[in-house]
Structure formats: structure tokens, C-alpha cells
Chains A and B, each alone.
Chain A
Amino acid sequence: MAAGEVHALLGENGAGKTTLMNVLLGLVRPDRGSLALGGRPVDLRAWGPRAARDAGVGMVHQHSTLVPAFRVEENLAFGEPEAGRWYRPRAARARAEALRERFGLDVPLGIPAELLSVGQQQRAEILRALGRGARVLALDEPTAALTPGEARALFPVLRRLAASGCAVIFISHKLEEIREVADRVTVLRRGRSEGTVDPRATDARSLGRMMLGRDPGERPGAAEAPAVPAPGAPPALAVRGLRAPGLREASALRDLSFEVAAGEIVGVAGIDGNGQRELEEVLAGVRRPSAGRLEVDGREVPFGTRALRARGVAHLSGDRARAGLVGGMSIAENLVLKGSYDDRRFFRTARYRAGAAVEYAARRIEAFGIVPPDPRRAVALLSGGNAQKVAVARELEGAPRALVAVNPTRGLDLGSTGFVHEQLLALKAGGSAILLISTELEEVLALAGRVLALVRGRLLPVPAGADRESLGAILLGEPAAETAA
């Protein structure tokens, strides 16, 4: 990319945008390849955070990295070699004012960073990077946390920086923003560049296709007809009029209703931060909905993890390392950690039958091919794929009535991904209802018979037979689809 250019990076979660930025910043060492700045190749062996900074690479992260209690000028002076060994308030203030003047960025000085609006904090961060002499400035989804007005105000700033000879890297999911601000856009998909184009000369559909992949691929599960439930039978899992507060405004659940029949996989596609986590938490019984009801086989389930478990709703967590499994506990202990503490095989009134749990675990380990086959091994020591097998072995035991599976293959290699998919399809064939919440569109399309799109906390219908492109367009088409960290 050239000096004076705003260059956008577009790609799905996990496409490699952040990894690429981390290489640029010297946080991740590349296996091979080269990097050149200002026409001079960089010695990658000596490349690191400090070298990157000295070479003029600056980054504005998605979330503020200012010290909240420090004043703005203190933040700007913090860790700056040129600010000197001692902190001199007047000099810091003068330097901050000079920077503000020079780059024309409106940031209030003299007040703690935590009192700034998100947009002001971002400008302060840009100022800090520029103050360090950044010639290449990368912004990681800078508009995600901004109001539309603040986002509008950011774009002229970026254009002005580019005009002054700075190279600006702009990471975003939002096509219309990229169109507005970027000169060129490079699309990343699964760690590869899918090409660099002029965003204004390319329509949303082709960008979406580049981002989501060209070939339609195989759809192993969707082709099969769903197991036909008995006519007139109530759906195995139903959600009606569900509302729930969100972690952020955009991710609050707004009046969701859907049904999942026995023997059916319903996919919920979406970009992270649109309510997936909230929906997962409600269906796992840890986030209390403000309205609406959950039904299993037509009967309402009271709020709570144990009530849901008791009615046969299993949950394959999207955050397996933290929420799905207890890393410090053994495979055996994790396999019996289920909310059903009346499971007499392992839990008597005053006795935990550790021996029975280990024996049981040995059988499950064999059945699921968990490596290493040691029931006493702590789950934190397993690979991602084997840890997920532990979670699958626990949640699929006894054919649950319904399963809520969230990003069940995130971070897994191909073999483990295939294994998890097979297990889900087998469970469906056995007559369980599966709700698959995933940000992997290909996964949703491959496994689910029906697909819903979760966009800003609302469910949008996806026409039957939708492909990646049309689904991607639905997810992206909504102007303010936001992304979480």
C-alpha cells in the first residue's frame, strides 16, 4: 500500500485480519514472507513491538488502551522517550497542544481519559500514535464502538491523515464505510488474500462473495430431509417473544420467536456481537430474559440452568475454555459436571463417587477417541479438539431433547471439525432438535435445514436455498451490523 492511501481490510471473523496486524505490529513473528516499509525490506528477525514502533507503525485498537484515570496529556506522554525521564506537567501539556494543533484533531486536554466520549478517546489514541511518529496507522474496527455521528466525524480525519502522507489501514466489516473512506480494499478469507479492489467500483455482492468464498461447497446435512416429527406434535424447542438485555445496545435481544422441531437443525447465522452470546446465555439459563418464554415439547420451562437441563436441553458452549469446561478439573470431573447433581451414578446425597466417574470417563474417552486417554488428566492440558470432544461427550450423553451448539468448531482443525459435525448430524438423525448458532456461514449452511439471520438482536428470515452470497448480503446489508471483540 502507498503513502497517502486509506487501505481497508475486509474479512470475516477469523479471516486473519488481526493476525496480519499483529505481524505488522511485531506481536506475532511470521513463519515466512517479507515486509517492507518505505521501500526498504524489514529484517524480520529483529522485528518486534519496539522495532515496529520505531519504524513508524502505529495502531489504534478496537477498545481504548488509554489509562482511564490519567489525563489526556498524561496518556500522550506516557511511555514516550521524548517526554524525558521525568514527567513534567507543563511540557506534557504543551506537547499535547502542539500535536492537537498539528493534526487538527479535536481532543479535550486536562481531564481524565475516562471522561472522554468513545470518539474522543479514539482521537486521543490516534494522536498518541501520531505523536510517536507513526507513518503507518492501523485502526482495528474503529467504528464498532462509535455512534453513527462519531463515525461520520472520523472519516474526514482519516482522509486528512492520508492526505498528509500517512498510510492508513482501516479494518471493518461494514461495506458502506469502506466505500466511503477507503481508496482500495483487500479482502481476507481464511488467512489468504482474496484480492485487492477499488471498493467504489465493486458492488456489495461481489465483495461479499470474495469475503465469504466462491465455491458453494458441499452441504452434507441440509440435503437430507429433516426427520419428520409426528403431525401436530409441538416443536421440541420453541422460543416465543424473547427479549433480553444485551452486553451492548446492539446486542440486546429484541422479540425473537422461532421453533426447532425434533430431528431438525436450525442455524442462526450472524456476525459476532449481534446477540449470539445473549441468545446462548438465555438458552443456557444464565441470562434472565426480560420478556418471552422458552418451551420444550410445548411446555414452558422456568428460567434457570438446572430447569433447562432437567428438561433435556443441552448446551455446547461457544467459549469452551472458560464457560464450557473447567480447565483445572480432570476429564472425568468435567464429564460429570452437568447440572444434574442428582445423577445417582456419580452423586449420592453426601458422596461424590470419584471412582465411578473415572470408570465412566474411561469409556467415554474410548468412545470419542479423546487423546491422551487419561481420565485424570486436567482438561486445560488437552488440545482444543480434544477439549471440545470432552464437551461433546458430556453434552450429547443420553441424547438430549434439544442441543444449543454455539460455534462448535471454532478454533478446531479439520479433523476435529469433521468429528463435531458428524456428531451433530448423528444427534439430529436420532431425533434431537439442534439450534446451531455460528458465525461460520459455511458451517451453518452445510448443517442446518433452515437458517435464520441474527442481526442487531433481531431475527431476519433467510429464504430457503440461500447461498453464502445472499446470506452474507443479509448479514452485511443491515447498515449498522456491529462486531464484538
Chain B
Amino acid sequence: MTALRSLAAAGAALGLAGVVIAALGFSPVDALRALVAGSLGSTAAWTATLLKTGPLLLTGLSVALAFRCGVWNIGAEGQLLAGALAATALATRVAPEAPAALLLPLVALGGAAAAAALGALAGLLRATRGVSEVISTILLNFIAIQAVAWAVQGPLQEASGAYPQSDALPAAARLPALGRVHAGVWVAFAAALAAAWLLFRTPLGFRLRAVGLSPLAARFAGISPERHAVAAFAIAGALAGAAGAFEVAGVTGRLYQGLSPGYGYTAIAVALLARLHPLAVVPSALFFGALEAGAGAMQREAGIPSVATQVVQGVVILFSVGFALPRKAG
């Protein structure tokens, strides 16, 4: 039933997107063909889709886990950037000479830990001061964006000083890859399994769900909603931070502004389309990853201007979210 709704949402959204494209004077058939070919039609297309899916999967899980505990994490984008920033700092400044066996885990865990701290900050503000986490995570996004801008023009700028970007990460910090699909993507898939396990098969997950469904009943059962909000945010931050670390260590090889095309925001749609179920985040992230990858092809092959592809993506997001959410009771 739930899965059907989500499928219907995605399908209807694509249909409406076709109408929009037709209204703009392009052939929806050509556009769809380009979209499918560019996301699923070849090895290169699949690679592009998977590379987009990886960060969407991790940030989507980040948002879904936080929601499950009743807190809105709008800050996955900032947490992703914090992860990328920390990973770059560790790999290019702190331990550039370290061997891969040491540097890779350091980069991944360091990125996750930095973002977990950023997430936990939003949780702490909410738990101790009642600051709405929606507001604080949005604001922390801006701080993270500006921190990256400052770092790539300051302490982390490349040695040549030519561009506002970091040095290339040393080879030892680069994720191993199958073709171009780096290990981080596969870790992301594993993370979906791990998140489902955490939520449904561990005491912590049990308590997080209880708090998310009824903070009052949880409190009477001896579960502190405040503490668990902080915990949920730390876990959410770690997931999004890992996505950031994997982007610099697996895809871009450097830190620069605009590293993320808004993965952390699309993640909200990914999580909602998946109805907050960690395993359903996998197909949901694949769907949005394919859209992201196919949008480029649509632009190249069908000649549809980039603005139109953005409109299409927007329609899909609105539609899928509107459909996927349960009707408001009362």
C-alpha cells in the first residue's frame, strides 16, 4: 500500500513533468527517452546514476532517521559540507603522508564525526533551549557553506593559489573504485541496511522510534526525548558527513564551493518519498539519482534548456512529496 503510493507519486510526477516539457515546446517523448538513456541506458549512464545515488542515499537516511525520532533535519546539506571540509583538512593538512590503511578510515570517520558534532549542536539547542531544529539546521547550513568558502580561499587553498579550491587529496586518501563507482556508494547501500537494523533491531532504535511516535509516552516510560533528539541528530549528522567525505575522496578529489548540487535538500524528498523507511530510501535515492543523472542527458540529447530540467526536477519533488505524505488527519 505504502509502496504503491510512492510508486504512484513518482509516476504521476513524471507524467506531469512531461506536460510541462510539452508546454515549453519540446517533445516529452524525446525528453523521456533522453532521461532514461542518460540514467540507465549504458554503463556510463548507470555510473552517473550510482554516483548521484550515493550521497542522496546517505543524506536521505540522515533525514529519515532524524524524522523517525521526531526531529526535522533540514541540515543534511550543511552536515555534508562539514564532512567534506573535515575530510579535506585531514587528508591535505593533518596527515597527508599517512598510508592508505590509516588515511582512508581517518578521512571517512573524521568527516562523519565533524558532521555528527554539527548535527548534535542542533539537537542540543533544541533539547536545552527549545530552539526549533528546523531553524537551527537551516542556519547551520549557511554557516557550513560559508566555512567551506572561507577554507578554500584561506587555510585549505591549493598551494598554487590559483583557484578557490583545496589541493588534490593524496592518492592514499582516494576511495578505491570499480570503474568510476567508488567504494563510498557501496558503503551507502550498506548504510541503508545498517540504519534499518538500528531502527528496528536495537534498543536505541526502539527508543528513537518511541520518542518519534509519542514523546510524552516515551518520557513516562523513562526515555528522555531530549537526549534522544541529540542522539538522533548526531547519527543523522554522521551519515550526511560521510556522504561529504565520500564526495571529496571518491568523486571530486578536492574541496571547492558548490561541491554539492543540493544533495542535502533533495534528501528531504528522498526520505519523504521513502516514507521514512531506511530500506525504501534505497529505491527512492536511486529514483532521484537517476533523475539527477538523466537531467544532464536530457539537456544534451533533447536540447531542453537547463532551466527546464530544473523545473522538471522541482515538479517531481513536489509531486512525490505531496503524494507520499499521509493525508493530514482531522
- In the bound complex, do residue A322 and residue B216 qualify as a contact, i.e. CB atoms below 8 Å apart? yes
Per-residue B-contact encoding for A334-350, CB less than 8 Å = 1, 0 else:
00011111000001111
Per-residue A-contact encoding for B205-229, CB less than 8 Å = 1, 0 else:
1110110011011111111000000
Q: Which of A323, A333, A339, A352 contacts B222 (CB 8 A)?
A: A339
- In the bound complex, do residue A324 and residue B202 qualify as a contact, i.e. CB atoms below 8 Å apart? no
CA distance A286 to B215 in the complex (A): 12
Which residues of chain B come closer than 8 Å to A349, judged between CB atoms?
Answer: 203
How many chain B residues touch A (Cβ–Cβ < 8 Å)?
A: 19
Q: Which of B200, B209, B222 contacts A285 (CB 8 A)?
A: B222
Interface presence of B180 (CB below 8 A):
no
- In the bound complex, do residue B203 and residue A347 qualify as a contact, i.e. CB atoms below 8 Å apart? yes
Interface presence of A7 (CB below 8 A):
no
- In the bound complex, do residue A352 and residue B205 qualify as a contact, i.e. CB atoms below 8 Å apart? yes
Docked complex: B184-210 residues within 8 A CB-CB of A? 200-203, 205-207, 209-210
Assuming the contacts A322-B214, A328-B213, A351-B201, asked whether A315 and B220 have C-beta atoms less than 8 A apart, the reply is yes
CA distance A285 to B209 in the complex (A): 21
CA distance A319 to B217 in the complex (A): 9
Interface presence of A466 (CB below 8 A):
no
CA distance A354 to B205 in the complex (A): 12
- In the bound complex, do residue B206 and residue A339 qualify as a contact, i.e. CB atoms below 8 Å apart? no
- In the bound complex, do residue A327 and residue B203 qualify as a contact, i.e. CB atoms below 8 Å apart? no
Write the chain B residue with the least CB distance to A341.
B203
Write the chain A residue with the least CB distance to B211.
A326
Assuming the contacts A322-B214, A327-B214, A328-B213, asked whether A351 and B220 have C-beta atoms less than 8 A apart, the reply is no
- In the bound complex, do residue A286 and residue B203 qualify as a contact, i.e. CB atoms below 8 Å apart? no
- In the bound complex, do residue B222 and residue A306 qualify as a contact, i.e. CB atoms below 8 Å apart? yes
Assuming the contacts A337-B210, A351-B202, asked whether A286 and B219 have C-beta atoms less than 8 A apart, the reply is yes
Interface presence of A186 (CB below 8 A):
no
Q: Which of B203, B218, B220, B223 contacts A352 (CB 8 A)?
A: B203
- In the bound complex, do residue A339 and residue B221 qualify as a contact, i.e. CB atoms below 8 Å apart? yes
Assuming the contacts A329-B209, A329-B210, asked whether A338 and B221 have C-beta atoms less than 8 A apart, the reply is yes
Interface presence of A284 (CB below 8 A):
yes
- In the bound complex, do residue A328 and residue B214 qualify as a contact, i.e. CB atoms below 8 Å apart? yes
- In the bound complex, do residue B222 and residue A325 qualify as a contact, i.e. CB atoms below 8 Å apart? no
Per-residue A-contact encoding for B113-148, CB less than 8 Å = 1, 0 else:
000000000000000000000000000000000000
CA distance A333 to B217 in the complex (A): 12
Interface presence of A317 (CB below 8 A):
yes
Which residues of chain B come closer than 8 Å to A340, judged between CB atoms?
Answer: 222
CA distance A351 to B198 in the complex (A): 9
Which residues of chain A come closer than 8 Å to B218, judged between CB atoms?
Answer: 326, 337
Which residues of chain A come closer than 8 Å to B205, judged between CB atoms?
Answer: 352
- In the bound complex, do residue A326 and residue B203 qualify as a contact, i.e. CB atoms below 8 Å apart? no
Assuming the contacts A326-B214, A329-B209, A329-B210, asked whether A354 and B220 have C-beta atoms less than 8 A apart, the reply is no
Which residues of chain B come closer than 8 Å to A354, judged between CB atoms?
Answer: 200-201
Distance to closest chain A CB from B312 (angstroms)? 35
- In the bound complex, do residue A337 and residue B203 qualify as a contact, i.e. CB atoms below 8 Å apart? no
Q: Which of B201, B202, B207, B217 contacts A325 (CB 8 A)?
A: B217
Interface presence of A450 (CB below 8 A):
no
- In the bound complex, do residue A337 and residue B217 qualify as a contact, i.e. CB atoms below 8 Å apart? yes
Write the chain B residue with the least CB distance to A308.
B222
Write the chain A residue with the least CB distance to B222.
A339
CA distance A412 to B261 in the complex (A): 55
CA distance A325 to B205 in the complex (A): 17
Q: Which of B210, B214, B220, B221 has the most CB of A within 10 A?
A: B221
Docked complex: A283-337 residues within 8 A CB-CB of B? 284-286, 304-306, 309, 315, 317, 319, 322-329, 333, 337
Write the chain B residue with the least CB distance to A337.
B221
- In the bound complex, do residue A284 and residue B220 qualify as a contact, i.e. CB atoms below 8 Å apart? yes
- In the bound complex, do residue A309 and residue B222 qualify as a contact, i.e. CB atoms below 8 Å apart? yes
CA distance A135 to B221 in the complex (A): 50
- In the bound complex, do residue A339 and residue B223 qualify as a contact, i.e. CB atoms below 8 Å apart? yes
Which residues of chain A come closer than 8 Å to B207, judged between CB atoms?
Answer: 341
CA distance A324 to B219 in the complex (A): 10
Distance to closest chain A CB from B325 (angstroms)? 15
Write the chain B residue with the least CB distance to A317.
B220
- In the bound complex, do residue A326 and residue B219 qualify as a contact, i.e. CB atoms below 8 Å apart? no
CA distance A341 to B217 in the complex (A): 15
CA distance A352 to B209 in the complex (A): 12
- In the bound complex, do residue A326 and residue B210 qualify as a contact, i.e. CB atoms below 8 Å apart? yes
Q: Which of A285, A319, A327, A352 has the most CB of B within 10 A?
A: A352
Which residues of chain B come closer than 8 Å to A337, judged between CB atoms?
Answer: 206, 210, 217-218, 221
Which residues of chain A come closer than 8 Å to B209, judged between CB atoms?
Answer: 329, 333
Distance to closest chain B CB from A106 (angstroms)? 37
Distance to closest chain A CB from B328 (angstroms)? 16
Which residues of chain B come closer than 8 Å to A284, judged between CB atoms?
Answer: 220
Write the chain A residue with the least CB distance to B209.
A329
Distance to closest chain A CB from B146 (angstroms)? 35
Write the chain B residue with the least CB distance to A334.
B217
Docked complex: A117-170 residues within 8 A CB-CB of B? none
CA distance A317 to B214 in the complex (A): 14
Which residues of chain B come closer than 8 Å to A285, judged between CB atoms?
Answer: 222
Docked complex: B14-40 residues within 8 A CB-CB of A? none
- In the bound complex, do residue A350 and residue B202 qualify as a contact, i.e. CB atoms below 8 Å apart? yes
CA distance A339 to B219 in the complex (A): 9
- In the bound complex, do residue B213 and residue A305 qualify as a contact, i.e. CB atoms below 8 Å apart? no
Which residues of chain A come closer than 8 Å to B221, judged between CB atoms?
Answer: 305, 337-339
Distance to closest chain B CB from A39 (angstroms)? 37
Docked complex: B291-322 residues within 8 A CB-CB of A? none
Write the chain A residue with the least CB distance to B205.
A352
Which residues of chain B come closer than 8 Å to A325, judged between CB atoms?
Answer: 214, 217
Distance to closest chain A CB from B65 (angstroms)? 16
CA distance A249 to B207 in the complex (A): 34
Which residues of chain B come closer than 8 Å to A304, judged between CB atoms?
Answer: 222
- In the bound complex, do residue A329 and residue B213 qualify as a contact, i.e. CB atoms below 8 Å apart? yes
Distance to closest chain B CB from A190 (angstroms)? 28
CA distance A305 to B218 in the complex (A): 11
Distance to closest chain B CB from A366 (angstroms)? 24
- In the bound complex, do residue B206 and residue A352 qualify as a contact, i.e. CB atoms below 8 Å apart? yes
Write the chain A residue with the least CB distance to B214.
A326
Write the chain B residue with the least CB distance to A343.
B203
- In the bound complex, do residue B216 and residue A323 qualify as a contact, i.e. CB atoms below 8 Å apart? yes
CA distance A352 to B196 in the complex (A): 12
Which residues of chain B come closer than 8 Å to A347, judged between CB atoms?
Answer: 203, 206
Which residues of chain A come closer than 8 Å to B216, judged between CB atoms?
Answer: 319, 322-323
- In the bound complex, do residue B220 and residue A324 qualify as a contact, i.e. CB atoms below 8 Å apart? yes
CA distance A333 to B218 in the complex (A): 12
The contact sample of 25 A-B pairs, CB cut-off 8 A, is A284-B220, A304-B222, A305-B220, A306-B222, A317-B220, A323-B219, A326-B210, A326-B218, A327-B214, A328-B214, A333-B209, A337-B210, A337-B218, A339-B221, A339-B222, A341-B203, A341-B222, A347-B203, A348-B203, A349-B203, A350-B202, A351-B203, A352-B200, A352-B202, A354-B201
Sample of 9 further A-B pairs with CB below 8 A, known A309-B222, A347-B203: A284-B220, A286-B219, A305-B219, A305-B221, A322-B214, A326-B217, A341-B222, A350-B203, A351-B202
* Shortest 8 CB-CB contacts between residues of A and residues of B: A339-B222, A305-B222, A328-B213, A306-B222, A326-B214, A347-B203, A326-B217, A352-B206
